[in-house]
Structure 1
Amino acid sequence: MSTLVIAKKDFKDAIRARTLQLLVAFFVGFTTLVFHYHRSRLGEEPTFTTLFDGIIGMLGVVVPVLGMMVGYKAIVGERESGSLKLLLALPHSRRDVMLGKFLGRSAIVVVTMAVGFVLIGIQTILFTDLFSLTKFLFAAGEITLFGIMFVAIAMAFSTAMRSSMTASIGALGLTILFSFLWDFLYGLFAQFVDPIQIDPETGWGSPDPGPNWLFLLKRLNPRQAFYEPSPYEISEPIPFYLDPWFGWVIVVAWLVVPLGLAYLRFRNSDLT
């Protein structure tokens, strides 16, 4: 019960501080612009997949930043203000505080994503004939999971650090890594491990697939957890870590491991 009490308080505080309203307004405006931009670029044979691949690609950069902004001050902000001691003086354990804060901040992300995607769905129905409820719900759920994973990562920094500045730098650094640098570094590493052989006669690179474990490195990025390489990129037999279900293992790991490590540190840390 303590966990839910803290989660509800955190969510209500976000409403009172207009944090939720500002996030919703920004996300609605951004998604509307992104939707109409990609709708205008549809080819002669548009499909729901081609429309939403572009939308999800752009949201995949913005949503982690939103998750980081929502989560990075969850614990360290209470520590700096002194209210964390007061909170723990009540019948709440440190585990209750961490889980409650995580649930409250995740609810903020879920509501923000829900409002934005409902409007995207309405616009898809009004301006196109491409709407697919199943694919729409999957896309909305996938991008919402991204946001929640980055809340967990940001909260790990918030719990482990003693100042909002260091927590924000750490969370923002990982967000930049996963959103902008991961694919670049992965490409460099893949080229080092399995250099492309250029045929001097044709000028084309070798079509031989590289080692399968390289694609596991790509999937370890929370934004790429559900990435599935095409058949010509991998060699038989297909390892279990490239099966679609393994994406859920990666998602759970990104939710549990950061929060678990942060809790172990928070459980024995001095609150001063």
Structure 2
Amino acid sequence: MSTLVIAKKDFEDAVRARTLQVMVAFFVGFTTLLFHYHRSRLGEERTFDILFDGIVGMLGVVVPILGMMIGYRAIVGERESGSLKLLLSLPHSRLELMLGKFLGRSVIIVVTMAVGFALVGVQTILFTNLFSLPAFLFAAGEITLFGIIFVAIAMAFSTAMRSSMKAAIGALGLTVLFSFMWDLVTGSIMRFVHPPPMSGEPTPPPNWTTLLQRINPRRAFMEISIVREPIPFYLDPWFGWVIVGFWLVVPLGLAYRRFEQSDLS
């Protein structure tokens, strides 16, 4: 029960501080611009998937940054202000505090994504004849899940660190790595362990290199196209949920272990 009380208070604080309103306004404006930009660039082949591929691709970069911004001060901000001791003097355990903060800030992401995608869905119906409810719900759910994962990652840094600066650097660094640098890093590793042949047909790289690409939560559900037979279990579609579960549970779990053993100063 304490977890839900903390989550409710955290969400209400975001509303009072206008954090939620600013997030919704930004996301609605950004998605509207993306929608009309990609709608104007549709060629002769007009499908919902083609329209939303570009939108989801851009949101897959922006939404993790929003999740990071929401989560990185969740615990460390309370520590720096001195209110952490007060919170834990109430009938809340450290685990309940961490989970409550995570749920409250995840709800901010869910509400923001719901409003933004609802308006994009309305515009898709009004301005095109391409709307597909299953594909639309999948895209909205996928992006929302990305946002929640990065809330969890940012909160892990917030829980483990003693200053907002360190939490921000850690959370932003990992977000930038996953959003902008992952292909460069994994591509460099793949070229080192599996250099392209000087002549002849290239051979598929080892399967573990594809898993390396897939570790990025933004690529957990990537389409596996070129792999060596037989396909190992970690390249099956269902394994994407294992990767998502890892990023939701393990960072928070490790951070909580550190938080539980630390003093509150």
TM-score range, shorter chain: over 0.9
Letter in 1 for 2:12: K
Q: Tell me, which stretches of 5 or more residues in structure 1 are unaligned? A: 200-204
Letter in 2 for 1:128: T
Q: 1:129 to 1:198 in 2, by over 3 A?
A: farther
Residues 196-238 of structure 1, C-alpha deviations (whole Å, 9 max, x = no match): 1243xxxxx73421111111001100110101222xx112111
> 1:185, CA displacement in angstroms?
0.8
Residues 38-82 of structure 1, C-alpha deviations (whole Å, 9 max, x = no match): 111112111111111111100011001000000000000001111
Counterpart Cα distance in 2 of 1:50 and 1:68: 28
Q: Which residue of 2 aligns with 1:54?
A: 54
Counterpart Cα distance in 1 of 2:189 and 2:124: 39
Q: 1:35 to 1:198 in 2, by over 3 A?
A: farther
Q: Which residue of 2 aligns with 1:216?
A: 211
Q: Which residue of 2 aligns with 1:265?
A: 258
Counterpart Cα distance in 2 of 1:119 and 1:47: 19
Q: Which residue of 2 aligns with 1:152?
A: 152
Are the aligned partners of 1:10 and 1:101 in contact in 2 as well (CA < 8 Å)?
Answer: yes
SS in 1 for 2:27: helix
Q: Which residue of 1 aligns with 2:240?
A: 247
SS in 1 for 2:84: helix
Are the aligned partners of 1:220 and 1:250 in contact in 2 as well (CA < 8 Å)?
Answer: yes
Counterpart Cα distance in 2 of 1:212 and 1:43: 36
Q: Which residue of 2 aligns with 1:202?
A: none
SS in 2 for 1:28: helix
Letter in 1 for 2:73: K
Q: Does 1:172 align with 2:172?
A: yes
Counterpart Cα distance in 2 of 1:226 and 1:76: 32
Q: Which residue of 2 aligns with 1:134?
A: 134
Counterpart Cα distance in 2 of 1:215 and 1:253: 17
Alignment of 1:66-145 (within 5 A): 66-145=66-145
Q: Which residue of 1 aligns with 2:230?
A: 237
Are the aligned partners of 1:196 and 1:206 in contact in 2 as well (CA < 8 Å)?
Answer: no
Are the aligned partners of 1:198 and 1:206 in contact in 2 as well (CA < 8 Å)?
Answer: no
Counterpart Cα distance in 2 of 1:62 and 1:84: 30
Letter in 2 for 1:47: T
SS in 2 for 1:22: helix
Q: 1:57 to 1:262 in 2, by over 3 A?
A: same
SS in 2 for 1:234: coil
Counterpart Cα distance in 2 of 1:147 and 1:92: 26
Q: Does 1:37 align with 2:30?
A: no
Letter in 1 for 2:218: R
Counterpart Cα distance in 2 of 1:6 and 1:16: 15
What TM-score does the superposition give when structure 1 sets the normalisation length? 0.96
What TM-score does the superposition give when structure 2 sets the normalisation length? 0.98
Q: 1:42 to 1:156 in 2, by over 3 A?
A: same
SS in 2 for 1:252: helix
Counterpart Cα distance in 1 of 2:37 and 2:233: 38
Q: Which residue of 2 aligns with 1:192?
A: 192
Counterpart Cα distance in 2 of 1:94 and 1:166: 21
> 1:32, CA displacement in angstroms?
0.6
Superposition CA RMSD, Å: 0.9
Counterpart Cα distance in 2 of 1:263 and 1:47: 45
Counterpart Cα distance in 1 of 2:209 and 2:155: 29
Letter in 2 for 1:253: F
